Amino acid sequence: MLGPGLLFVVSGPSGAGKDTLVDALRARLPRLRYSVSATTREPRPGELEGEHYFFLAREEFERRRSAGGFLEWREYNDNLYGTPRDFVERTLTEGYDLIMKPEVNGALAVKKAFQDAVLIFLAPDKFSHLRARLLARRTETNEEIARRLEIAHQEFRFVRNFDYIVINEESRSDEAVRDLQAILQAERFRIHRYDDDSIRKLEDS
Ligand code: 5GP
């Protein structure tokens, strides 16, 4: 009864814990594929080409963008970010579930292209924790942190366009990972994912 793969989009403000939680989820679900984005921002220490991002020069990003290579793209904090289209389409057609973690506008753009995509908004239990988390990871300047927090406020306005909200409570991220996993599992059983033929086969067997 398996059809095309399901597309899960985990979004929410920078500092909400998307990276950590999606990594933990992928460790639990080895068959889940991950869509690696392209970006023009500089790699942070420890970030690997092709694993965390495809790091591109702006001209190369723009060239691929003009050629229709991105499913969606956004300028965020003076850098470009985009979801490579081919990988997403191929992976879903092959029947694999796929997860990605764009910022909120990107998530909404993905939903327009794939109405069946499942949008999950990841939020901190307190907005003030965002600032603390961004400070703790020491990868952005104070000015960048201030800008990310401003963007985070704007992102919260779109929360009702999402299908689910998961709260990443301070020091209880295991629970948030479990919540994400529960959503992924439940989505697989939604009745609209099964066509009449599949149901009839069950009845006739
Ligand atoms: P960071 O620089 O912290 O890795 O990412 C900055 C923001 O860009 C995050 O909110 C992240 O989710 C978002 N982002 C990463 N990849 C993409 C993408 O392909 N498309 C969009 N729209 N946003 C992305």
pLDDT in tens, 36-91: 999 999 999 999 999 999 999 999 999 999 999 999 999 998 999 999 999 999 99
Q: What is the pLDDT of residue 15?
A: 86
Q: CA 47, 170, 148, 184 torsion: positive or negative?
A: positive
Convert the pLDDT of each residue in 11-32 to its tens digit. Answer: 999 888 999 999 999 999 999 9
- Regarding the beta carbon of 106 and ligand 1, being less than 6 Å apart is answered yes
| Residue 168 resides in a domain | yes
Q: Ligand 1 centroid vs 101 CA: distance in angstroms?
A: 7
Average pLDDT, whole number, for the chain? 94
Nearest CA to ligand 1 atom 24: 102
Query: What does the pLDDT read at residue 127?
Result: 87
Asked, for residue 64, whether it belongs to a domain, the answer is: yes
- Percentages (nearest 5) of helix, strand, coil residues in the chain: 45, 20, 35
Q: How many domains does the chain have?
A: 1
Helix ranges (H only) for the chain are 18-28, 58-66, 85-93, 104-113, 128-137, 142-156, 173-188, 196-204
pLDDT of 205: 84
Within-domain flag for 195:
no
CB 122 within 8 A of CB 11: yes
Q: List, edge to edge, every strand of the sheet that includes 38-39.
A: 54-55, 38-39, 79-84, 70-76
- Does some domain include residue 185? yes
Q: Is the CB of 74 under 6 A from ligand 1?
A: yes
148 is a domain residue: yes
196, part of any domain: no
- The model's confidence at residue 198, banded by pLDDT at 50, 70 and 90, is confident
The pTM (predicted TM-score) of the whole model is 0.93
Q: Of residues 193 and 2, which shows the higher confidence score? A: 193
Check which CATH number belongs to the domain holding 40 and give it: 3.40.50.300
Q: Which domain holds residue 127?
A: 7-190
**pLDDT reported for residue 42:** 96
C-alpha 141/C-alpha 164 separation (Å) is: 32
Instruction: Work out the percent of the chain whose per-residue pLDDT is above 70.
Output: 99
Do the domain assignments include residue 82? yes
Task: Identify the band that residue 1 occupies on the pLDDT scale cut at 50, 70 and 90.
Answer: low
Q: Is 41 a pocket residue for ligand 1 (Cβ < 6 Å)?
A: yes
- Residue 55 maps to a domain: yes
pLDDT band, residue 153 (cuts 50/70/90) = very high
More confident residue, 183 or 144: 183
